[in-house]
Structure 1
Amino acid sequence: MTDSLSSRPQPGEYAPFFARYVDLAPEDDVLSAMHGQAPISEREILKFADRPDHRYAPSKWSVKQVVGHMADTERLFGFRALWFARADASPLPGMEQDDWMAASDFEAIGLEDLLTSFQAARTSNLLMLSQLTPDAWARRGVASGNPFSVRALAHALLGHERAHLQILSERYA
């Protein structure tokens, strides 16, 4: 068996929908990659400091909403990772991102505060993940009706961040 801390998740460890996020985190050492991503994300998000309410189309999220969504997802995926790492077999519900957005008020929060919120959630997740045993990294659970390993969730965290930075760069710039 490979070391769960230094290997990539395999397709059976996450829902097919999440392959796009896992693929954006090709590193074996996901914790180091997450640490290294922090200054990149901050720089890319703060490029929009002068236009945080910008939307690339009328029905699309604003920059602030994208960053708020990133923070929400960071917390959610981190919670799922902790839940599964602690070997709780109870399945977790899904998250409908548009419903969550409708119930949020990210527009009333400054971009820098939203970035700080994301960074705090990431720091918390990094501390939690770095304290897990190899057995905990390999543990699995069910969320949104799909199986996930802790290892896959860690890669999805990084890939989700990169996916949204890519969207900001390509569509909002």
Structure 2
Amino acid sequence: MLSKPEANEYAPYYKGYVNNVPDGDLLQILDIQQKETMSMLKDLRDEMGQFRYAPEKWTIKEVIGHITDTERIMCYRLLCIARGEQEMLAGYHEDEYVKRGKFNRFSLLELLHHQSLVRQNTILLLSSLDEEALLQCGKANGSEMTARAIGYIIAGHEMHHRRLIKERYLGSDNFQGKDE
């Protein structure tokens, strides 16, 4: 079972994500989490995926695309660091990725399917790593982190955005509910 990383295994920026993750088996948490996200959004009509809670904010579809892109990037970092890469791994510009991802052209179910496949890959990669690989330290986006910490960052990042979807999107007075 993967245990939570120590604070010195990741940059302070990621503390909120890591702290979002409950105690327990990370692989099970990742699996359950993806199912919860799917359950929360699968019954929305596709046009509801275009909802923005405020001007200039991402749509629900763009948030799902962002979660998926970020997990892809983090999983790449996790693989590189677990394999002993010592070069600095690049950061990325999330707003530009969302803009160029053009996620609104996909159906909500397509985006959730992509997210599910990426999550399955993340779980497979994490489950294949031994403790030595998980504790490998590398550099990404200007800071040091362990492979283990990245697994927790992935889980915490999705939890963060799922909370925002519930509160700011689905909970908005302007959201046309799925039961209409």
TM interval, short-chain normalised: over 0.9
Aligned to 1:144: 141
Aligned to 2:96: 99
Quick one: which of 33, 38, 41 aligns to 2:37? 41
Please say if residues 5 and 148 of structure 2, whose CA atoms lie closer than 8 Å, have aligned partners that are also in contact.
yes
> What RMSD, in angstroms, separates the aligned Cα atoms of the two structures?
1.2
Please say if residues 139 and 149 of structure 1, whose CA atoms lie closer than 8 Å, have aligned partners that are also in contact.
yes
Alignment of 1:1-173 (within 5 A): 5-50=1-46, 51-173=48-170
Give per-residue Cα distances to partners, 1:42-96, cap 9 Å, x unaligned: 1112253351100000110000000000110110111100000001111101111
- Normalising by structure 2, report the TM-score: 0.90
- Normalising by structure 1, report the TM-score: 0.93
Corresponding letter in the other structure for 1:17: Y
Corresponding letter in the other structure for 1:89: Q
Change (3 A) 1:14 1:145: same
Q: CA deviation at 1:26?
A: 2.8
Question: 1:147 aligns to what SS in structure 2?
Answer: strand
Structure 1 residues not aligned, in runs of 5+: none
Question: 1:103 aligns to what SS in structure 2?
Answer: helix
Change (3 A) 1:85 1:58: same
Please say if residues 52 and 59 of structure 2, whose CA atoms lie closer than 8 Å, have aligned partners that are also in contact.
yes
Q: CA deviation at 1:31?
A: 1.1
Please say if residues 94 and 144 of structure 1, whose CA atoms lie closer than 8 Å, have aligned partners that are also in contact.
yes
After TM superposition, the runs of 4+ consecutive aligned structure 1 residues lying more than 3 A away are 47-50
Please say if residues 78 and 147 of structure 2, whose CA atoms lie closer than 8 Å, have aligned partners that are also in contact.
yes
